[in-house]
Structure 1
Amino acid sequence: MFKDTKTFSGFSTDDVAAAKAFYGDTLGVDVSEADGMLHLNLAGRNSVLIYPKDNHVPAEYTVLNFQVTDIEATARELADRGVTFERYSDEHDELGVFHGGGPLIAWFKDPAGNVLSIIQE
């Protein structure tokens, strides 16, 4: 039924202006705004909707994964831009990259507390 239907995901924020600055300026994502909501215009013509919600509760799971070819270089650059990486166990290196099995991944939060990641391809 939805095989050929354009699909997108979305999640909420409590501050659209802070989200726009973070995704656009800090992360360098192409961001557009319409009707008080943000659209993250991602590679491959994919988009993610970020919508305002007064009683926003941050997602406790990863809502967005950015695939990168060099996670260490990307983590360093993001740290230089003020991003703080989460450390959920002692299996994270000094950059915040998790080495506990599976692909190399590092988690961080947006200004509304939603969990994002960089993950090495």
Structure 2
Amino acid sequence: MLKNSKAFSSFSAADLPKSKDFYQDVLGLDIEETEMGILSIHLSGGGEVIIYLKPDHVPAAFTVLNFPVEDIDQAADELISKGVDFEQYTGEIQTDEKGICRTGDGPLIAWFRDPAGNILSILQEVE
């Protein structure tokens, strides 16, 4: 029934202008503000993510959006130069000085937060 549906993801923020600036100016994404005041992020490949206003917003405690990149160090350096702070983990998941997790069998990955506190990541597949 839903196999051919054009599904999309969504999450909330408490300050849409601040979110729009971050996603558009810092991350360089294509953002459209709809007539209803919702932010629509148009992703490469045709995907879409919606960010909606929620005054009592609580940041997601999990990764809401992942950005695959070809070179995680280059992507991290560029984001750091734009003021992005990467999360630092020292427990079961360990990150280096840039905030990149280079251990385990999965991709190289680094997590950061948007202005609303939602968790995003950049990741590079390891061959």
Q: Same fold (TM over 0.5)?
A: yes
| Cross-structure match for 1:69 | 70
Q: Deviations over 1:45-89 (max 9, x none)?
A: 100000000110000100000000000000000000000000122
Moved over 4 A (4+): none
Size of the aligned set, in residue pairs, is 121
Match of 2:97 in 1: 94
Q: Does 1:113 align with 2:117?
A: yes
Greater mean alpha carbon deviation, residues 19-28 or residues 84-93: 84-93
Q: What is the alpha-carbon distance in structure 1 between the residues aligned to residue 2 and residue 109 of structure 2?
A: 31
Question: What is the CA-CA distance between 1:100 and the residue it aligns to?
Answer: 2.5
Say yes or no: does 1:10 pair with 2:1: no
Pairing of 1:24-103 with structure 2 (within 5 A): 24-34=24-34, 35-89=36-90, 91-101=94-104, 102-103=106-107
TM-score by length of 2: 0.93
SS in 2 for 1:54: coil
Q: Percent identity?
A: 54
In structure 1, the gaps of 5 or more residues are none
Question: Where in structure 2 are there 5+ consecutive unaligned residues?
Answer: none
Measured against aligned partners, the alpha-carbon deviations of 1:3-44 in whole angstroms (never above 9, x if no partner) come to 111100000000000000000000000000011110000011
Amino acid at match of 2:48: S
* AA partner of residue 110 (structure 1): D
Q: State the Cα deviation string for residues 98-119 of structure 1 (Å, max 9, x = none).
A: 1221210000000000000000
CA–CA distance in structure 1, aligned partners of residues 55 and 18 of structure 2: 14
